[in-house]
Chains A and B, each alone.
Chain A
Amino acid sequence: MTRLRRSGRGLLRSLAALIQMLLPVLLLGTFVTYLLGVLSGLSPAHLQLGESATPAAVARLEHEWGLDRPFLVQYLAWLRGLGGGELGLSWYNGRRVAGLLASRAVISLSVAGLALVIGVGLGSVLGTVAALRQTSWIDRAITAFTTFISVMPSFVVGIALVAIFAVGLGLLPSAGYLPLEDGVWPWLSHLLLPALALSCDTVADLARQLRVGLVGVLGENHVTGARLRGLGEVRIFLVHVLPNALGPALTVLGMKLPHLLGGAVVTEAVFGLPGYGRFANESALRGDVPAVQGVLVVSVVLVVVFNLLVNVLLARLVPAARRGGSP
């Protein structure tokens, strides 16, 4: 009973500390994003007026959009909107950016989520096997493999996957997206190849970090201690080795989400996914500033939330880290 209460309090404390750290990040991130948008000097005129862009018309349009107000006024208004979940209106088609992003975010997050699952799953397996078969040929093969895929740009992997699995073997579709309502397998089959392409970096890093962590822990005395107490190898691995070895892997994982979100920009271009990476790309090409700002803010929020979760997880699994021990 007391244990639960104690751990609950500890959790709240760490959460509070993390929020205190991450809130400035959020503010700074949104500020910089908005500032850059304003500094860019772009305006909706070029997107909306086209042929009839006389200076008077441009001025009128900018006034309509509130772009002639002082910077801080604009920023605060935008921030207030952010609080209510509003990301402004797109200059390209006047729609709510939040709405445009919502459906696309689902797609991108599905791919990123699946990539994370594959990355963690495959990476853990590879890292574990490599650590358990340290210095054997399996270990070296796995290391070579992970080095190779960590170096491959995701779009190259993507094209290769399409060539082999979609066009060559015809097992999976090469492009497009089907929503979950159309069935689990159709939905999954469209996400598998892009997720695989996107996951390469995560697989490699996780395998490497887990191997390092495991090798470190496996050599420690407390593993011998557990063995001496007569515990089975599987139990020792799962309960005593793995949790202590996860530190470096979890830290690396925290940095993966930004990478996955960024990588979406290219993978979505290759696989024709209407996700928000492609949206960002197209909006950027069009100079649709509110849309670009919206995308950036959403990514910052996503990354911050994800880091929060990872840190909490880290604290739960590795009490030493929680107490400020060495990471």
Chain B
Amino acid sequence: MAASLATLAAFAVLLAPSLGCKGRASARGADPAAASPRVLKWATDFPPNWDPVVQGSGGGFRVLALAYASLTEIDEQGNARPGLARSWDYNSSGDEVTFHLRPGLQFSDGTPVNAEAVKLYLERAKTQANSALDGDLTSIASVHTAGDLDVVLELTQVDYQIPLLLGQRVAQIPSPRAARDPKALNAFPVGAGPFTVVELVPESHVFLKKNPAYWNAANVFIDEVKVYAGVDPATVVSSIQTGVYDFAALPASQVKAAEKAGLDIVAHPGFNAANLAINIHKKPFDDPAVLLAVRHAINRQEIADKVTLGYGSATNQPFPRGYIAYDEQSENLWPYDPAKARRILGDAGYTPGQIVVDFVLSAASPAAEVIQAQLAAIGITARISVAPNWARPFFAKELALSIYGTTGRESPVQTLTAHFGPKGPLNLSSPFVSPEFEAAIRRARETPLDAPDYAQNLKLATRAALATSPTIFTYSQPTLFVKSARVSKIPAIPGQVHWTGVRVGSP
């Protein structure tokens, strides 16, 4: 009897603080002037690395962008805009560019944002053993500072893409002091971004609070951001609906559910495209006949329809129609013609079903199943397997067949070289490259962004690439997000998630 009373008492004591907490919160709410924090809850894929050098251009950069500020930004048309750098100028020959940083900025650990910090970052990105960015910085020969706020980049070639390149994906600048211990930096970010990290539990959540020292803090109307590691696609909609999260990526399969629930669906622009990655150094694709047959076997429209359920479109290029580098002339290079595909294989001496290839994926994918069926229709058996460590063999170019999708790049040249360049991380057939493409891409690189033939040069480079590249692009889909009504409109900056100007209403 006494024991049970004691237990009850203990319970009450334990519970009281939590109940008290709740009380305090509501007391706060009763007095709006006391500012109940404006909190944004975002569920997304959690980046495994917090050091921009290690994280690279993969999708996780969007979360890092909460803590880091990048050298440049882009606007809704995709043009470079000031970031940490308020301006930049090229020299007359176009092989040297100087960035002028904003004065008086600081990282969250107090170190100043200066040219030295940028220089150290770029050097580290080029040289650190596990850097994911060195392939993107081949144009940069060396970096030196000219004064406290001026960074001078000497380039290996004429390259006007640099301001586009040094955006959120490549040039999120961390504190140089923190960067002295890259391992620690990789576990906990120290930057000069719109928010600073308050609590970070890997693969679970990261909580951030507004950084008043951010260069654009005046336009940040969110006090706290809570990022949660990804949510099951089947429950995304209900999570937003019931207020667990405010913002999350929406798989195409859930759009209808989101509509039914009356949530806001954001079709966010992006220069992205999905592809079927083929390695011509591996069987069976070392036989050009097989490659050609596969080119004619893919029905892009079917893939686009079934995978994006109407929200995307077919494309045979690494970006959607309408993008500056999209080459209309190359649209129908290898039209869908399964009969022709079968004939090509037959003429090359293959019987239906003879060709068997391992189709290795990072995750289950309806697109892969559709492609599998399309290949089966021309007599190629593709065995799908989901590999836990897909990334390593993919980036090590060990796979014969896989699928991939990018979220685009700020610099069109970067997109093209990533997919088609000899060292391109997304070129499964590297070091394969055509000399025509190499010439064309150099030309594009050397064209100033405001030159009249800039767009044309890009298209020519695309054309050259597509003529020989074995990568088969399939469809493009704007990134779909779902948000609760509390969250105001997101700036439509392609491929990026920006929180400036976004307001979050009270729960």
**A residues apposed to B, CB below 8 Å:** 42, 45-53, 57, 90, 92-95, 100, 103-104, 159, 162, 166-167, 170, 172-176, 180-187, 190, 269-272, 274, 279, 282, 284-287
Given A100-B203, A166-B238, A270-B234, output 5 extra A-B contacts at Cβ < 8 Å. A93-B203, A173-B242, A271-B235, A272-B230, A279-B203
**A274-B228 in contact (CB<8A):** yes
**B180: CB under 8 A from chain A?**
no
Residues of B with C-beta under 8 A to A286: 388-389
**B265: CB under 8 A from chain A?**
no
> Could you say which of B183, B239, B388, B425 contacts A94, with CB atoms under 8 Å apart?
B183
Residues of A with C-beta under 8 A to B25: 183
Interface locus among B68-76, B159-167, B336-344, B390-398? B390-398
Residues of B with C-beta under 8 A to A166: 238, 241-242
**A176-B395 in contact (CB<8A):** no
The 14 listed contacts between A and B (C-beta, < 8 Å) are: A47-B389, A50-B395, A52-B129, A92-B48, A166-B241, A167-B238, A173-B243, A175-B239, A176-B43, A176-B244, A185-B22, A271-B232, A282-B203, A286-B389
Say yes or no: A274-B204 contact (C-beta < 8 A), given A170-B242, A180-B18, A183-B21.
yes
**A270-B232 in contact (CB<8A):** yes
**B229: CB under 8 A from chain A?**
yes
**B389-A103 in contact (CB<8A):** no
Residues of B with C-beta under 8 A to A172: 242
Residues of A with C-beta under 8 A to B389: 42, 46-47, 286-287
Say yes or no: A162-B396 contact (C-beta < 8 A), given A183-B19, A286-B388.
no
Q: Nearest residue in B to A58 (C-beta to C-beta)?
A: B392
**A274-B203 in contact (CB<8A):** yes
**B395-A51 in contact (CB<8A):** yes
Residues of A with C-beta under 8 A to B425: 51
**B201: CB under 8 A from chain A?**
yes
* A-B CB proximity, top 6 nearest: A174-B238, A176-B244, A183-B22, A51-B395, A46-B392, A46-B389
The minimal Cβ–Cβ distance linking A292 to chain B, given in whole angstroms, is: 11
The answer for the CA separation of A264 and B205 in the assembled complex, in Å, is: 19
In chain B, residues 366-381, which have Cβ atoms closer than 8 Å to a Cβ of chain A? none
**A49-B392 in contact (CB<8A):** yes
**B261-A184 in contact (CB<8A):** no
**B388-A285 in contact (CB<8A):** yes
The answer for the CA separation of A92 and B229 in the assembled complex, in Å, is: 15
**B132: CB under 8 A from chain A?**
yes
Residues of B with C-beta under 8 A to A45: 392
Residues of B with C-beta under 8 A to A57: 129
Say yes or no: A274-B15 contact (C-beta < 8 A), given A166-B238, A174-B241.
no
**B130: CB under 8 A from chain A?**
yes
**A184-B238 in contact (CB<8A):** no
**B285: CB under 8 A from chain A?**
no
**B49: CB under 8 A from chain A?**
yes
**B333: CB under 8 A from chain A?**
no
**B231: CB under 8 A from chain A?**
yes
**B187: CB under 8 A from chain A?**
yes
The answer for the CA separation of A45 and B235 in the assembled complex, in Å, is: 34
**B271: CB under 8 A from chain A?**
no
**B245: CB under 8 A from chain A?**
yes
The minimal Cβ–Cβ distance linking A232 to chain B, given in whole angstroms, is: 19
The answer for the CA separation of A50 and B49 in the assembled complex, in Å, is: 13
The answer for the CA separation of A172 and B238 in the assembled complex, in Å, is: 10
Say yes or no: A175-B392 contact (C-beta < 8 A), given A52-B130, A94-B183, A95-B187.
no
**B202: CB under 8 A from chain A?**
yes
The minimal Cβ–Cβ distance linking B67 to chain A, given in whole angstroms, is: 16
**B231-A50 in contact (CB<8A):** no
Of residues A47, A172, A183, which shows the largest number of chain B Cβ atoms within 10 Å of its Cβ? A183
Say yes or no: A270-B187 contact (C-beta < 8 A), given A93-B49, A100-B203, A176-B244.
no
In chain B, residues 186-238, which have Cβ atoms closer than 8 Å to a Cβ of chain A? 186-187, 201-205, 228-232, 234-235, 237-238
The answer for the CA separation of A175 and B237 in the assembled complex, in Å, is: 10
> Could you say which of B132, B232, B242 contacts A51, with CB atoms under 8 Å apart?
B132
Say yes or no: A183-B18 contact (C-beta < 8 A), given A49-B392, A175-B238.
yes
**B234-A159 in contact (CB<8A):** yes
**B232-A272 in contact (CB<8A):** yes
The answer for the CA separation of A92 and B43 in the assembled complex, in Å, is: 20
Q: Nearest residue in A to B26 (C-beta to C-beta)?
A: A183
In chain B, residues 1-31, which have Cβ atoms closer than 8 Å to a Cβ of chain A? 15, 18-19, 21-22, 25
The answer for the CA separation of A271 and B234 in the assembled complex, in Å, is: 9
Say yes or no: A270-B235 contact (C-beta < 8 A), given A174-B242, A183-B25.
yes
Q: Nearest residue in B to A269 (C-beta to C-beta)?
A: B232
Residues of B with C-beta under 8 A to A46: 389, 391-392
Q: Nearest residue in A to B241 (C-beta to C-beta)?
A: A167
Residues of A with C-beta under 8 A to B239: 173-176, 272
**B187-A174 in contact (CB<8A):** no
**A50-B391 in contact (CB<8A):** yes
Residues of B with C-beta under 8 A to A47: 389, 392
The answer for the CA separation of A287 and B393 in the assembled complex, in Å, is: 14
Of residues B49, B237, B239, which shows the largest number of chain A Cβ atoms within 10 Å of its Cβ? B239
The minimal Cβ–Cβ distance linking B249 to chain A, given in whole angstroms, is: 13
> Could you say which of A50, A92, A185 contacts B130, with CB atoms under 8 Å apart?
A50
Q: Nearest residue in B to A170 (C-beta to C-beta)?
A: B242
The answer for the CA separation of A175 and B391 in the assembled complex, in Å, is: 29
Residues of A with C-beta under 8 A to B261: 167
Of residues B15, B43, B396, which shows the largest number of chain A Cβ atoms within 10 Å of its Cβ? B396
Q: Nearest residue in B to A51 (C-beta to C-beta)?
A: B395
**A284-B388 in contact (CB<8A):** yes
